[in-house]
Copies of this chain bind each other. A is one copy, B any other.
């Protein structure tokens, strides 16, 4: 079964061990003829290199790590799927680590000591946690960030234009006819959440909106969104549209509306951000910003695996406004 060794391949191809190794690792200085012979032997024998042996002999671990501290299983699951696909393609293993943003120092120290990785993919809010970044840099550990907002040149990153997407949502709601808004904000240490807030507010101002949106914290969770929704509806001057800066909190807002006897979208428009799984687990389905989370995660892992994380720079992927049924013109 998992029988064939590099030795077998070398013999079958009539070359040395080192040559097989060269072909496998795509090193330079290999003649086409030799390469072809080796590749044929590999295919015939169904040879797969032993990761343990490669790792022991060489400097690479064939393991990449995914760090997260995200309240949303939906988001996390998508990130994981994307990173996983990239790992499988590159014959690497994936290691998952849940980090508590408040205890980065001790947890990451332990983690680094306990078996090395070839690098890490960081998800928000860890992405912009300077304590973590300093730690990683100090140890010379490579990493790629998903949705970075600060220090874009510090490492490679993959993101969408969060501010631009939130602005697009503002424009969409404005064009629908809304003039009074509320905004459910995310965790304070989550800088993508911050960018969404800013993008939304600034676009509204640009559009000539008389009053800035009423802001209430929602912590990116359903419960937080629910409480935020209740607070918003308790105001004397209610908005006609509420923007949750992620889908979970928007879903919470919808629940608060239904608790208050308001129909969405007839009596209140609600919009989310992410297009995560929950956007289609509420009724009506949520109008939201589609963020290609899995693709972003895949791209991030691919950058890491490509091993040229020398300089930074953020790769931007496209977002998309997804019009569904939770937002409509005001009554």
Interface residues, chain A, with chain B CB atoms under 8 Å away: 1-2, 46, 48, 50-53, 55-56, 61, 63, 73-74, 76-77, 80-81, 84, 91, 93-96, 98, 112-116, 139, 222-223, 226, 248, 251-252, 255-256, 258-259, 277-278, 280-283
With A and B bound together, what is the CA distance between A96 and B80 in angstroms?
A: 10
Contacts of A51 in B (CB 8 A): 52, 115
Contacts of A76 in B (CB 8 A): 77
Closest residue of chain B to A257, judged by CB?
B283
With A and B bound together, what is the CA distance between A46 and B226 in angstroms?
A: 47
Q: Is the CB of A248 within 8 A of B73?
A: no
Closest residue of chain B to A73, judged by CB?
B77
Q: Is the CB of A48 within 8 A of B96?
A: no
With A and B bound together, what is the CA distance between A95 and B222 in angstroms?
A: 30
With A and B bound together, what is the CA distance between A248 and B113 in angstroms?
A: 40
- Contact of A115 with B1 at beta-carbon distance under 8 Å, contacts A73-B74, A96-B94 already known: no
With A and B bound together, what is the CA distance between A259 and B285 in angstroms?
A: 11
- Contact among B1, B74, B139, B278 for A112, CB-based, below 8 A: B1
With A and B bound together, what is the CA distance between A52 and B277 in angstroms?
A: 37
